[in-house]
A and B are shown apart, each in its own frame.
Chain A
Amino acid sequence: MIALVDSNDFYVSCERVFDPRLEGRPVGVLSNNDGCVVARSAELKALGVAMGAPMHLLSPAIRRQATLLSSNYALYGDMSRRVNLVLGEFSPDVEVYSIDESFVGFAGHAPSRLEALGRRLRETVGRDTGIPVCVGLAPTRVLAKAANRVAKTSPALGGVCRLDAESAATRRVLEGLPVHALWGVARRSAERLALMDIHTAWQLREADPKRIRRAFSVVLERIVWELRGRPAILLDDLAAPRQRIMVSRSFGRLTGDWRDLQEAVRQHGARVAEKLRRQGSLARAVLVFLRSDPHRLGERQYHNSVVVPLAGPSDDSRALLEAAGRGLAAIFLEGVRYQKCGVMLMDLVDVECHQLSLLASRDETARGRDRRLMTAVDRLNREMGRDTVRFGLPRQDTAWALRCERRTPRYTTRWNELMRVKVR
């Protein structure tokens, strides 16, 4: 059996842990640059605020009532880590699927005891982290996802729902579940399924897998098997190291300033290089892209990207940043106001697989020195806080710095932002 553990309104829940006054009040968390609402408490949903609603379109009445916060990713990341730490006590087999969802393998437990285990897991996560979670138990991931949905929407279940492959309850749930609400079914596929008279998850389960595969894809066929209770989506499918890594961001305001772009590319490049080293890969090429704001009428439109190959596979920030800088110089156009830029590392290879040719191509001591330098940079940035060591000197008040006026303190990752408690 597999459990899908999903945090309820995760970002909002994180904020509430450290500010109990937010409990029971409408709370929203805004996207990067405070653009639109990306997380809503139940109370904010009840006010009719839609997911993704642009902040500047919210009525003054709602803005007065609701607490709208900038996203505090340092906090959400740390709370997610804590939740998964607790999950690790329940099973050696925890796969983090997203910041607020993890699959937990429960192989070898008696089915009759699973619900009690799920409840204990839920209580322990709640006690240790303050984050409310729901647990969906099922023999496959797709069913676990559906079970989780039931757990979330039926308060009577106490946050835990189990769906067996063959049961009347499972049939009832799947009959009430439209296909587009299934994990892994895109909206376009759902529209085409409707033409085949397949509207509910149950109808999809009963469809001929071979026919589904011919008409759609092997992925949708696997979903049919999963709905029947046969695991078809592998645990390792998502765990493989990523083949490309990207960091991109919108500027807080449009900018045509060369130095703004240079700094943004340098910053994104440094971040993406850090990610590269964390997953133990080397990149063979660097892609830089930039674009103007396509939704801004009357603005000169331009978008471009360039791939800069590296002399050899590398994870050295200096080599990557140098390549990114050359790429930017090649595509930068004077007189355009840019909205977004980013750096992607491509053609990744494992450090281990590549060790031999590296030693052949470069002096071993120089290579070791570079490696130690990068390790030291990463460690300083991890332990002393982001941007302790930077490449080049960014200016203050640059256009690309994130807008985050309403961000709460990073309670768990910064010494000078700890939660303050009155002792009165």
Chain B
Amino acid sequence: MSSPRPSLARVPAAAEPRPAGSSQPLLGCRVRAGFPSPADDHLDVEIDLHAHVVRRPAATYFVRAEGDSMLGDGIHDGDLLVVDRSLEPLPGRVVIIAVDGEPTVKRLTRRAGRTFLEASNPCFAPMPLEGRECQVWGVVTHVLHALPGAAP
């Protein structure tokens, strides 16, 4: 690729000012006849919902919710949950956690130095984590809830 010959130094650098009248580089776009579009100077890329929701593709999984103990967080029966395994299970986050081998959706909370799993439905009492075999599976980042007329 690079030649050791000193003659290389004679090649003018790209940044050198070009003498007047020399050819200019071509524009990298097609030239159209007719009026230019007023939007040409303001081109943006399409908004991509997937990229917005899936920040880390290798670590992001979609799962289906079954049950209604998290209605207070907007999670309905049958909703689609976006789960990021790379996020830390900090208190306050809604997580998927396997308790005794059974994955479930709960909010992590800390009170008086103890960690609890909380449902957002008052019918379910907080469950202390101590003394249980449990493993955080991932952090729920988004809920996709289908309204009437939409595909689930």
Q: How far is the CA of A411 from the CA of B61 in the complex (A)?
A: 9
B35 shortest CB reach to chain A, Å: 31
Q: Which listed residue (B63, B81, B101, B105) contacts A20, Cβ 8 A?
A: B101
Q: Which of A86, A411, A419, A421 contacts B104 (CB 8 A)?
A: A421
Q: Does the CB pair A128–B56 fall under 8 Å?
A: yes
- Whether A419 and B67, one on each chain, are in contact in the complex, defined by CB atoms closer than 8 angstroms, is no
A sample of 25 cross-chain residue pairs with beta-carbon separation below 8 angstroms, ordered by A number, consists of A20-B103, A20-B137, A82-B58, A82-B59, A86-B59, A127-B85, A128-B56, A128-B58, A129-B58, A130-B137, A412-B61, A418-B64, A418-B80, A419-B61, A419-B63, A420-B63, A421-B66, A421-B96, A421-B105, A422-B66, A423-B66, A423-B67, A423-B69, A423-B105, A424-B124
Are A420 and B86 also in contact (CB < 8 A) when A20-B101, A86-B58 are? no
Task: Mark each residue of chain A from 387 to 424: 1 if its CB lies under 8 Å from any CB of chain B, else 0.
Answer: 00000000000000000000000011000001111111
Cβ of A21 under 8 Å from chain B: yes
Query: Which B residues are CB-close (under 8 A) to A422?
Result: 66-67, 102-105
A23 at interface, CB cutoff 8 A: yes
Which A residues are closer than 8 A to B by beta carbons? 20-21, 23, 82-83, 85-86, 124, 127-130, 411-412, 418-424
Q: Nearest 8 pairs between A and B by C-beta?
A: A128-B59, A423-B67, A85-B58, A21-B101, A20-B98, A424-B67, A419-B63, A82-B58
Contact A21 B66 (CB under 8 A): no
On whether the beta carbons of A421 and B103 are closer than 8 Å, the reply is yes
Tell me the bound Cα distance from A356 to B139 in angstroms.
Answer: 53
Q: Contact: A421 with B81, CB < 8 Å?
A: yes
Contact with A along B101-140 (1 / 0, CB 8 A): 1111100000000000000000010000000000101000
Tell me the smallest distance from the CB of A399 to a CB of chain B, in Å: 34
Question: How far does the alpha carbon of A292 sit from the alpha carbon of B128 in the complex, in Å?
Answer: 62
A23:B70 contact, CB within 8 angstroms: no
Q: State whether A418 touches B63 (Cβ < 8 A).
A: yes
A424 with B64, Cβ < 8 A, contacts A128-B85, A130-B85 known: no
A423 B70 Cβ-Cβ under 8 A = yes
Contact of B64 (CB < 8 Å), options: A23, A85, A128, A420? A420
Q: How far is the CB of A261 from chain B (nearest CB, A)?
A: 39
B102 to chain A, nearest CB (A): 7
Do B75 and A423 touch across chains, with their CB atoms under 8 A apart? yes
| Residue B57 interfacial (CB < 8 Å) | yes
New contact pairs (14) apart from A20-B103, A127-B86, A421-B63, CB-CB < 8 Å:
A23-B101, A82-B57, A82-B58, A86-B58, A86-B59, A124-B86, A127-B59, A421-B96, A421-B103, A421-B104, A423-B66, A423-B69, A423-B105, A424-B104
Name the distance in Å between B121's Cβ and chain A's nearest Cβ.
Answer: 9
Query: In the bound complex, how far is the Cα of B98 from the Cα of A75, in angstroms?
Result: 20
Q: Which residues of B contact A128 (CB under 8 A)?
A: 56, 58-59, 85-86
B137 to chain A, nearest CB (A): 7
CA distance A424 to B119 in the complex (A): 8
Which residues of the other chain, B, contact A412 by a CB distance below 8 angstroms? 61-62
Which listed residue, A20, A85, A124, A418, touches B57 by the CB 8 Å rule? A85
For the complex formed, measure the closest distance between the CB of A413 and the CB atoms of chain B, giving whole angstroms: 11
Which chain B positions have C-beta within 8 A of A424? Answer: 66-67, 69, 104, 124
A423-B102 contact, Cβ under 8 Å, with A20-B137, A127-B85, A128-B86: no
Flag B58-100 by CB within 8 Å of A: 1 or 0 each.
1101111111111000010100110001100000000010100
